[in-house]
Amino acid sequence: MWSWVAHRVTGVLIFFFLFVHVLDTALVRVSPEAYDKVVATYKTPIVALLEYGLVAAILFHALNGLRVIAVDFWSKGPRYQKQMFWTVMGVWVVLMLGAIYPVLGHAARVLFGS
Residue 4 sits at φ, ψ, to 5 deg, of -65, -45
Residue 1's pLDDT band, with cuts at 50, 70 and 90, is confident
Angle between helices 2-30 and 45-73 (to 10 degrees): 130
pTM of the predicted model, to two decimals? 0.87
Determine whether the annotation assigns residue 61 to a binding site: yes
DSSP codes of every residue in 45-88: HHHHHHHHHHHHHHHHHHHHHHHHHHHHHSTTTGGGHHHHHHHH
> In the chain, where are the structural domains located?
1-112
CATH topology of domain 1-112: 3 helical TM bundles of succinate and fumarate reductases (1.20.1300)
What was the pLDDT predicted at 112?
86
* Residue 111 reports pLDDT greater than 90: no
Contact 60, 9 (CB under 8 A): no
What confidence tens digit (pLDDT) does each residue in 45-91 have?
899 999 999 999 999 999 999 999 999 999 998 999 999 999 999 99
